[in-house]
Structures are given as structure tokens and as C-alpha cells.
A and B are shown apart, each in its own frame.
Chain A
């Protein structure tokens, strides 16, 4: 499916979906969204791009970049749990911090956010890895 039209569209679609996925991830705590949905969205973007520009080198390169994300995600999620322990409460007990930035105002940071980012990365890593592995295996285009 290496058509110019699809390739042109895929570039935009990927960028838009990645930005949107981060947006959805970050707003998740108060509005519809979150790590899982964001992760699925981002994976869809990456997969569409890979389908449009299908080539074996691209596949393996994307695999190499994306696959480690699931480990990073798992470690982040685990780390957010351990932060709870470090602050003297139970594992995964949420911790909240207020960050004051002069012009932008206050930003609330929390371990659940870190956890959600972990979920986001793990989902991207697993979904993209599985689909790309299958594409590679099927020599599918």
C-alpha cells in the first residue's frame, strides 16, 4: 500500500494522533481519557504510519525503538508504587505535589499520573510490538 496519497496522509495522521494521545493521557484524571486510551490511540497512529511506509528495515527499526517502551512503562508504574512506600505509606498510595511555575501557575503532579504514563507506554509498547511482529511475520503490506 505504498501509495503517495496514503503516505502523505499517514504522516499527518501519525503526528496528530500522537499529540492527541498525549493530550488525552494528561487530561485523563478529570475528563474522558487516560493512559490506556491514549496508548491505544498512539499505537493506532504508529501502526497506520508503518502500514503506509511498509518496508522491512522500517519495521525492525520501529520495533527496536518501540518495544523497550513496555519495559520502561512497567518500571514507571512500579516506581510510582515504590514512591508511595518511600513517603512512608503503602505501595501505590497516591502522592501529590504542587509545582509552582512563575508564569504558568501551579501544576499538580502526582504518582497516579506517573502510573498512567507507565500504562500509556506499556500499552504502546505491547500493541505496536505485537502488530508489527505479525506484519513482519506475514510479510504483509
Chain B
């Protein structure tokens, strides 16, 4: 049976601004299915984003949404969550917004382990501003500001999140569309800071410069590089060369959650008066 996306979409907002073949639409569908699975109420769900292609996502979804300054989604979302701890706070943004301009906010939100879900759509580039290289652009690949190849080593966003202290880290791809909503459901249910990195494609500014002939070729590349975590256990280091692990990469339920800890601070302050 067909899924009714329309009940979660703001009337009159479609068609969206994303280019033909952009994976952000697939991720948005996954998020809507996840919201439906968990039966999240519109008035009790906040989607916060920064600036960028991926950060246009909250504008289309009919719930509490906040479109903030570049890279500052985590800072604004922390404020929302502390003011209203009962709210489900979901952040979304791209790789540039999350790990370059908002890199500092991102690692500190991870460190605090505040109960939020961050969906990072990693399309390897700054799409909206004209295809400049981002910290996720692979070494040697071309962008508008690195026409002879990017000399920088790139971030592994999932590993960065684990290192910074996030307690749930998962990775999916826009090709594995069925998996996206399952990962997001698990991330929202997890008490603590959850990061879901979704590998995406940007046919307009990244694919064109890096000799991908079509959207289909970019989608098939995602299919080829993705290896599920369980399958990777049986593979040798040589076989895993150039591959990317997908699925739930890290989960820790022992670390205290920030809003609960902060409530204790408020209690202690009241008691000491």
C-alpha cells in the first residue's frame, strides 16, 4: 500500500528546490516514514537546521521547525531541548554545515550527550553555494575551489561523532532507502545524542566535476561502497579497502543524558537556597 507522505508535508510547498536526482528527497521521505512509525506528534517534534541544501528540509515538513544560522543548528537545538525536554528534537544538515562551519557545535553537542538526533546528509560538497570542497570531500576529488584535486584528507563523520562522545552513531546511504527510516527510528528512540550519517549524491556540483555520467552511476557507487557492519566482520582488511560501513556503528546506553543531569543541577540549586 502506498505511503501517504502528504499528511506530513506543508501544503503548497512541493515541488522542493533540490536538483533532479538529489538524494535529500529520499532522506526526507525516510524521516517522514520514521516520524510516522514512531507516531510523533507535530506539536511535540522540532526539526532544526542550519544553512545549505540539506538544511532546507524542515521547511517542507509540517511540524515545529527552526531554520537557523549557518552551522548553528546544534546550538539552537540544545536551547530548544533544554527549554522543553519533553520535545523530540531532530537536527538535519549537510556535511559542510555540520562538520566545518558548525564543527565546534557538533562535537560539543556530541560531548554533552543531549537527547537529540542529528541527521547529516553527506553529499561530499557544499552544494548550495556553488560546489566548494567540504571537510568530507575525498582526497583528490574535484570541487569548484579545488579544480586540480582536493589535497586535504577527509573527515569520517561517524568516527568523529564516536570520538566526540555521541552515544548512538549509524550510517546509511540514499541508495538503501529502506534502511534510512529504520536507522532514524532507532536513533530517535535512543536516549542521548544520536548521529545518523546518510551518504548522499550531489549530481549537479559534485557528480559533474568528478566524471559521474548520471545520477544512476552515483547511486550505484553508493551501492558498491556500502558494506553492512555484520558482513564487514567476515571480511579482510584488504576487501574493506575503499568501502564504507553502514548500519548501527556504535551504541552506548550507559552514559548519562544531559537534560536529566541538568534537571539534577536545578534541584541541587533549589535545595541549597
Partners in one complex: no
A interface, CB within 8 angstroms of B: none
